[in-house]
Every structure is written in structure tokens, then in C-alpha cells.
């Protein structure tokens, strides 16, 4: 079974073909990230306009790269939430139209759940991908760390899961992006904070870790603590504008603040993962979302969980938003008899939760 996956929830226009829920045949991603960089974050109108321009060429490229025609495609899976309304609309309308024209079943996919399914891909003929060799086993602990979500989920089986906890305010990736902006580092913040942190001392500053419900997270207090720390470091009061901080901070201060923030933000996630591992004894742990690319996360998790089971991460290109994860979950949706979406009525769900 070959499924075309379409993803447009944020600033990546992406399409991919996946066979039988594990073979990646193509993976095309067009990002409008460069257009947002000058604003220090995604501008929804610019993202939506970029999706309109990119969506059809990206889908055609995904078919070409997989050596597929429409006759070879058994169904279309599309992200319908969570995400930016204008962005989601372009992917969903394209998928609905193509499903009607080519008479293909349509599957509506939850983007956050999709991130987890990047871990079910085990093979590809595409160059430059590092694939895991076996699919994760159930019960499986899923940790989703992205720009929009921070969640910890226990999967007993496909489509049978419990949301153990989630962020009560900002997502971890969003905190990286905001801290990067304060320090005058490039967008997206994850990689630029990580780079600055390499030069810094992660124990130089003491930053707070939020105390939340057992498996819940919070990052907004940490973000404010970084703001106050920056202001204190340059000898200014709490009303000093965050946009002017980076001009006054030295390179060494920026590196140390980035390293101290990164350590605590990642520790927040790792503490809960350890707790859930001890309580539920899962057979596998999978990480999904853009922050899964973080080397600090990988370092801390491997230290905190000295496991008989290895923790596996998707290839870096499958950590950030992509169509492959959507197509993979689409394959399971189709093969396990989950309901199809109606191509005449499928709506977007910007606030969709797991």
C-alpha cells in the first residue's frame, strides 16, 4: 500500500510517499523559514502564501521522486490539525481536491501524532537518511517536543493511547525560539541556541524548573527567568525591552545563558520521561518533533535512562515537519480500518489535541 502524505501545518510545505507504513519512497520539503527569519518567528500570512505557491509542485515532486503515478497511490493522508489555520487550509484543500479528482480515499491526520510515527519508518532507497532497523514495540512511550507541542503519551497500541501530560503554556521549541530572540541569535532558536551553548558553561546560571502536575510541563516561567537574568546581567530593571538586550550582552554572557537555559529546558522533559519510564516500563521510547534534533536531549536521555532498550530518534530530516510522518500514520490508518475522511467536508482543526 502506497500513501501520499501532505503536511502544511506551519512553515513547511511537504509531501512524501510511504509504502506499507515503513518504506520511505520520497520526501519533499519546501520551507518558507528564510522568509520568516527576519521577523524572528513564523508570520502566518507569509506561511499561507508560500504554501499556495509550493503545494502542487511539492506533491508532483514527491510522486516523481517515488517513481509513482496517481495509479500507484492507494490513498491520501493530510494534516488537518493542530497548526496555523491559514497554513492547514492549503494542505487540506489540496488533499480534498486531489482525493475527489483521482478517486482516492482520504485520511485526516493529527500532526502531533504524526511526529511519533516518523519512528515507524525503517527503510528508504533515498540517499542521506539514517534509518532505524526495526519498528518500535508497544507499550511505547512517546515524547513529542516541537515548536508547538510538548507532550508525553503512552501508546498501548496503534490508536490506543493516553496523554500522560503536556505543557500548560509554551512548547519547548517555542521557548528555544523566544530565548534565541532575546539573545540576538538566529531563528529557528533550537539550532542557534544549541550552537551558542557549545561555547558556554551550562552551570553558570541557576534557572528555575517549573513544578507542575506529575507529567505536565511549563516553559513560560523559564522564559521570563531568562529575560530577568539578561536584564540583571546588564544592570537594567524589569522594564528594559527584550529587543535591546542582545546589543548589551557580551558573547560570553550569551553563550553561558544559552547553555544554562538549554540544560534546564531539556532537563524538564527528561525528568518526566524518566518518571514515566519507571511507572509504565514501556518496551520502547520514541521521540518526535523538531527538538528531537537536540544533541543535549539525546545526551541527557541516554544518561538518565541507562536502558536495556535503546532510545531511537528519527533521522534529523524526519524530526522537523515533513510529509513522511503523515504518510506513515496514514498507512496505519488505512490498513487498520480507521475511518476515512469525507473529501467534500473535511475541515481544519487548528487546536486539535491528542
- Binding footprint of ligand KG4 on the chain (CB under 6 A): 10, 146-148, 173-174, 176-177, 188-191, 194, 289-291, 293-294, 320-321
Q: What is the grid cell recorded at 72?
A: 500507484
* Residue 190 interaction partner, one of Zn ion, ligand KG4, none, beta carbon < 5-8 Å per kind: ligand KG4
Binding residues for Zn ion restricted to 207-236, rule: CB under 5 A: none
Instruction: Report in angstroms how near the CB of residue 105 gets to ligand KG4 at its nearest.
Output: 25
Q: What is the grid cell recorded at 17?
A: 510517499
Choosing from 146, 202, 300, 333, the residue that interacts with Zn ion (CB under 5 A) is: 146
If one asks whether residue 321 binds Zn ion (CB under 5 A), the answer comes out as yes
Backbone angles phi, psi at 288, to 5 degrees: -140, 160
CB of 108 or CB of 146, closer to Zn ion: 146
Q: For residue 198, what is the enclosing H or E element? A: helix 189-198
Long-range contacts of 191-196 (CB under 8 A, 24+ apart): 191/293, 193/258, 193/261, 193/262, 194/262, 194/294, 194/295, 194/296, 196/254, 196/255, 196/258, 196/259
Beta bridge partners of 163: 153
Can you state the percent helix, strand and coil of the chain, rounding each to 5?
45, 20, 35
CB of 231 or CB of 320, closer to ligand KG4: 320
CB of 170 or CB of 321, closer to Zn ion: 321
Instruction: Report in angstroms how near the CB of residue 177 gets to ligand KG4 at its nearest.
Output: 5
CB of 75 or CB of 315, closer to ligand KG4: 315
Beta bridge partners of 145: 150
Instruction: Report in angstroms how near the CB of residue 93 gets to Zn ion at its nearest.
Output: 20
CB of 98 or CB of 120, closer to ligand KG4: 120
Question: Is residue 14 a contact partner of residue 56, using CB atoms and an 8 Å limit?
Answer: no
Instruction: Report in angstroms how near the CB of residue 321 gets to Zn ion at its nearest.
Output: 4
* Residue 120 interaction partner, one of ligand KG4, Zn ion, none, beta carbon < 5-8 Å per kind: none
- Which listed range, 16-24, 146-154, 213-221, 225-233, lies at the site for Zn ion (CB under 5 A)? 146-154
Rg (C-alpha) for the chain, rounded Å, is 20
Instruction: Report in angstroms how near the CB of residue 239 gets to ligand KG4 at its nearest.
Output: 27
For the chain, list the strands marked E by DSSP.
Answer: 2-7, 12-19, 23-31, 75-81, 106-110, 123-124, 140-145, 150-157, 160-166, 284-288
Instruction: Report in angstroms how near the CB of residue 92 gets to ligand KG4 at its nearest.
Output: 16
If one asks whether residue 177 binds Zn ion (CB under 5 A), the answer comes out as no
Other Cβ atoms less than 10 A from the Cβ of 184: the count is: 17
CB of 40 or CB of 114, closer to Zn ion: 114
Considering only CA atoms, which of 153, 173, 155, 182 is closest in space to residue 165? 153
Residues that bind Zn ion (CB under 5 A): 146, 321
Amino acid at each position: 500500500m502506497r500513501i501520499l502524505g501532505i503536511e502544511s501545518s506551519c512553515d513547511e510545505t511537504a509531501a512524501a510517499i510511504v509504502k506499507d507504513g515503513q518504506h520511505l519512497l520520497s520526501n519533499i520539503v519546501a520551507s518558507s523559514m528564510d522568509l520568516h527569519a527576519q521577523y524572528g518567528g513564523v508570520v502566518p500570512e507569509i506561511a499561507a502564501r508560500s504554501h499556495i505557491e509550493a503545494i502542487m509542485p511539492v506533491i508532483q515532486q514527491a510522486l516523481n521522486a517515488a517513481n509513482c503515478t496517481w495509479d500507484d497511490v492507494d490513498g491520501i493522508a493530510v494534516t488537518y490539525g493542530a497548526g496555523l489555520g491559514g497554513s492547514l487550509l492549503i494542505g487540506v484543500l489540496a488533499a480534498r481536491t486531489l482525493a475527489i479528482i483521482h478517486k482516492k480515499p482520504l485520511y485526516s491526520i493529527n500532526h502531533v501524532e504524526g511526529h511519533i510515527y516518523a519512528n515507524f519508518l525503517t527503510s528508504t532507497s533515498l540517499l542521506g537518511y539514517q534509518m532505524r532497523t526495526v519498528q518500535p514495540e508497544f507499550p511505547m512511550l512517546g515524547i513529542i517536543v516541537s515548536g508547538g507541542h510538548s507532550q508525553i503519551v503512552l501508546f498501548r497500541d496503534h490508536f490506543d493511547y493516553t496523554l500522560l501530560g503536556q505543557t500548560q503554556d509554551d512548547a519547548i521549541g517555542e521557548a528555544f525560539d523566544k530565548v534565541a530572540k532575546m539573545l540576538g541569535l538566529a531563528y529557528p532558536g533550537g539550532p542557534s541556541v544549541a550552537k551558542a551553548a557549545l561555547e558556554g558553561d551550562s552551570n553558570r546560571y541557576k534557572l528555575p524548573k517549573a513544578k507542575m502536575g506529575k507529567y505536565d510541563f511549563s516553559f513560560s516561567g523559564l522564559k521570563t527567568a531568562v529575560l530577568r537574568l539578561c536584564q540583571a546581567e546588564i544592570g537594567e530593571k524589569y522594564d528594559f525591552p527584550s529587543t535591546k538586550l542582545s546589543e548589551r550582552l557580551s558573547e560570553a554572557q550569551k553563550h553561558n545563558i544559552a547553555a544554562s537555559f538549554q540544560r534546564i529546558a531539556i532537563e524538564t522533559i527528561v525528568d518526566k520521561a524518566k518518571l514515566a519510564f519507571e511507572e509504565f516500563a514501556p518496551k520502547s521510547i520514541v521521540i518526535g518533533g523538531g527538538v528531537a534534533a537536540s544533541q543535549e536531549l539525546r545526551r541527557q536521555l541516554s544518561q538518565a535512562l541507562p536502558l536495556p532498550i535503546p532510545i531511537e530518534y528519527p533521522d534529523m530530516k524526519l524530526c522537523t515537519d515533513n510529509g513522511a510522518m503523515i504518510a506513515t500514520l496514514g498507512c496505519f490508518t488505512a490498513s487498520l480500518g480507521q475511518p476515512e475522511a469525507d473529501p467534500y467536508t473535511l475541515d481544519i482543526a487548528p487546536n486539535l489535541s491528542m
